[in-house]
Structure 1
Amino acid sequence: MSVATRLQAMQPTDVGVPGPTSLDMARAFRSVRADPLSFLVEVSGRFGDLVSFPVPGPPALLVNDPADARHVLQTAARNWTKDTVQYAALARVTGPGLLASSEPSWIEHRRLAAPAFHHQRLEAVGDQVRAAAEAAIGARLGSLADGDVVDVAALTHRIGLDAVGRALFSADLSGQAQDLLDATSESADLVVRLGRSILPRAEWTPTRTNLRLRSARRRLDAATAEIIAQRRARSADAPAGSHGDDLLGLLLDSRMDDAGIRDELVTMVIAGHETVAGALAWILMLLAEHQPEQDAVRAELAAHPGPVGLLGHRETLPWTRAVVDEALRLFPPAWALSRRSLAPDVVGGHEVPAGTLVIVSPWLMHRRADPWTDPLAFRPERFLDPGAGRAGYLPFGQGPRLCIGREFALGEMVVVLSELLRDHRVSVPAGWTRPAAQAQVAVHPRGGMPLVVTRASS
């Protein structure tokens, strides 16, 4: 029996946790869909670190205490699966790839993908990530007039997609870039719409969302099929059974069929470029608002004029890495994580039954005042202490399902910042107002991120 069927068949379970009533939720329905981040902040402020939502069947709990989150995501992780509406919606686009797959299949997916993210492999692809950044920066900023306003969110999207293509697929995705960007952006929006429903409609129903999602998925299918065909053609003269040591080559060399390979490629395109692109846009905004911190990044880069690698930047560029960490605290790409219990457990001192849904929001946890002094302020120096706030810091998740691309993503952000800020300065335009944070698959600035870009020598 599916999760949705079980929920429909059961009455709400009361575990004695405070939370909004059904009437509260009905009144807030439109605002929740429009701005879930503000809703999470509001209910957490009103009801505390453990909030119960009125849903049929087993409880749905918002967990905002670091110890409780660690219990669900790490200590008792085997009892908490990704069999949730959020990941079921994501799987409508990615298929049962590494990000959306539930136990036990994800272990096999992770085993296949792990060699592509080994430290030796990441060191080897640093030049490719720099090439992606240089190409996008040159194309967009090469003819820039000082003082021009640039949508840096569009720039970071292009860099992120190209970097994923070059580093994980050894392929320049420039030919498919615009279609992939459009299809992944639309897919992300549709996934969020589906994921906000407790009981989503079946895939076969001809709703507008379902029809749009099918169209976006067909476009992703076509683009990934072309990438796979191009690699097979290039590998025709390679030794039998070998397609290369990047992610695509490893997948082609495995026993996985083309449908499975397609799912992993789409997973990496969406997870690998959506999260990094959004994070970089917020990093550049924060540096534009805080010029002394940006000057410190540029000074550190000047003191290390050589090329920046994907690894080791915490030691060689500690301030730049602290800027990245602090920006990920304020604007974590993964704004909500969900898990469902396989068996009864205890969460926040309350006994909960099998089937309990738990939502952990890094967006909330990173704004707690107990581990973070002045939590809404941009203070990179707090991450110069290696142990700072680790109990409540989870921009890439926590536990065994920690994002496999974490080191690649962090390295890519530092490399892109080094390429952009060595020669350019970002600042806010006149009449500046921060773009609203839009909760999609990752947190993106609504309407883009318009910043003034000038040459640093100016």
Structure 2
Amino acid sequence: MTEVSRTRPTEIGLPGPTPRDMLRSMRFISREPLAFLGRMAAEHGDTVAFPIPGPPVLLVNDPADVQRVLRTGGRSWSKQTVQYAAFARVTGPGLLAADGPTWLAHRRVAAPAFHHERIEALGGLVGEAVDDAVAARLRTPAFASGDVADLAELCHHVGLDVVGRTLFSVDLTGQAAELLRTTGSAAELVVRQGRSLVSTLAWAPTPTNLRLLAARRRLARATAGLVAQRRDAVGPGAASYGDDLLGLLLDSDLTDEQVGDELVTMVIAGHETVASALSWTLMLLAEHPAAQDRLRAEVAAAGEVSFLRHREALPFTRAVVDEALRLFPPAWVVSRRAREDDHLAGRDVPAGTLAIISPWLVQRRAEDWPDPEAFDPGRFADGATQRPAYLPFGAGPRLCIGRELALAEMVVVLARLLGEFRVSLPPGYVRPAPETLAAVQPEGGMPLVVTRA
């Protein structure tokens, strides 16, 4: 690793590395961005100024400043950053990458699909998705109790299946292999571009750009097929195309291309984040068998549980989920650009300032989380997740629209899977390294020993 020599005050009076330090660290930044950001915070403090030409580029790690940036999103701070421009190369201007009036209009159209009443009715569909994935991978003659299985792969299939069943009312299992390959490739390419602090030419025929274009076209064909399938099923002149997300989008004033953008957004964001979070949660439970035993006992005692009232019925299981999301937040970095002059870390910052926020770092801040690297579900025993230093789904008006569905889905998956199986560490276990894609994934998957309980 490159040694960073010293802290230097920048033009706005905030500490940070020197230009020479940054040049020496470029390979480190590319290979291990989370480790690089962590080192910057450790060496320079909660607010780090990077010596990048143009408006200031700041790593913002203080929870008060993080909340200021995220909660004024759309007013003082926007998503007009390289990171979201890269996402838009694949998703189009969907909810993930859109900003301003476009985002607000699309959010209002999609919101009814995530109302509590509708989500409550989806619990059975999530359970069916888990059962089908388990049946296809763990209840087969080829799999024996005590074998090692890649549970990250299972989690990705469950996540994609849940998106299809709950948001589009379709079975995506027949397209799962192609969709997972395409979304995985797109996520890798998007993050490769988004790691750059300067824009790249989208039209240049580079290998990355050409691969991104191919992935975008494959995803567009898949979503166009979903739109055509729904239109054919409902028929012309129908009063409504349905109350799921796809139906709401088709009932709106959005064009078919805009509908497709939102579907691509949900396919990528909806399954990548849940699959990531579940994979790390299963790893933590394999590393902490006493916590796994407690979870399994709670699930067995609770019986049938209301989808959205899982916190009351399964408080420890939900606390496990919350703590896993603290340690391994799927969205490892977010960025915002100042629309106007603002005030951060006791300094005036000009319009155009880029704020880089890493939930991974904020949620490991020792001032807010004693023994921050330890897995301790007891931190959330009171059920309180509204904390400034806790933002696995973002904060403010841009809080993830699928938050409640994702949390309930994770609890159901854990309850179903661990009600039947026990997970443990394989011989020679080494914890997988975090791979910083669209969501932070375990590099090489999550191979765990799976035994019938």
Aligned residue runs from structure 1 range 390-405, under 5 A: 390-405=387-402
**Superposition TM-score, scaled by structure 2 size:** 0.96
Change (3 A) 1:410 1:76: closer
Aligned to 1:386: 383
Q: Is 1:302–2:300 an aligned residue pair?
A: yes
Is 1:71–1:77's contact at 8 Å kept on the other side of the alignment? no
The aligned amino acid for 1:421 is L
1:355-382: per-residue Cα shift (whole Å, max 9, x none)? 0000111000110111211110000011
Q: Is 1:281–2:279 an aligned residue pair?
A: yes
Is 2:56–2:354's contact at 8 Å kept on the other side of the alignment? yes
Aligned to 1:82: 79
Q: Which 5+ residue runs of structure 2 have no aligned equivalent? A: 1-9
Aligned to 1:446: 443
Cα distance in structure 1, aligned partners of 2:192 and 2:71: 28
- 1:389 Cα offset (Å): 7.3
SS of structure 1 residue aligned to 2:388: helix
Aligned to 1:321: 318
Aligned residue runs from structure 1 range 290-369, under 5 A: 290-306=288-304, 308-369=305-366
Aligned residue pairs total 443
Decide which of 20, 37, 42 is 1:40's aligned counterpart: 37
- 1:309 Cα offset (Å): 3.8
The aligned amino acid for 1:203 is A
Q: Is 1:406–2:403 an aligned residue pair?
A: yes
Which segment drifts farther, 195-204 or 323-332? 195-204
Which segment drifts farther, 388-397 or 146-155? 388-397
Cα distance in structure 2, aligned partners of 1:77 and 1:377: 35
Aligned to 2:55: 58
Aligned residue runs from structure 1 range 139-288, under 5 A: 139-143=136-140, 144-236=143-235, 240-288=238-286
The aligned amino acid for 1:146 is S
- 1:259 Cα offset (Å): 0.5
Aligned to 2:414: 417
The aligned amino acid for 1:303 is A
Is 1:382–1:388's contact at 8 Å kept on the other side of the alignment? no
Is 2:319–2:383's contact at 8 Å kept on the other side of the alignment? no
SS of structure 2 residue aligned to 1:284: helix
CA RMSD of aligned residues (A): 1.4
Change (3 A) 1:325 1:112: same
The aligned amino acid for 2:28 is S
Change (3 A) 1:407 1:37: same
Is 2:79–2:336's contact at 8 Å kept on the other side of the alignment? yes
Cα distance in structure 2, aligned partners of 1:309 and 1:412: 12
Cα distance in structure 2, aligned partners of 1:156 and 1:328: 15
The aligned amino acid for 1:159 is V
Percent of residue pairs bearing the same amino acid type: 61
Cα distance in structure 2, aligned partners of 1:59 and 1:200: 15
- 1:56 Cα offset (Å): 1.3
Which segment drifts farther, 195-204 or 324-333? 195-204
Cα distance in structure 2, aligned partners of 1:209 and 1:146: 42
Cα distance in structure 1, aligned partners of 2:32 and 2:313: 39
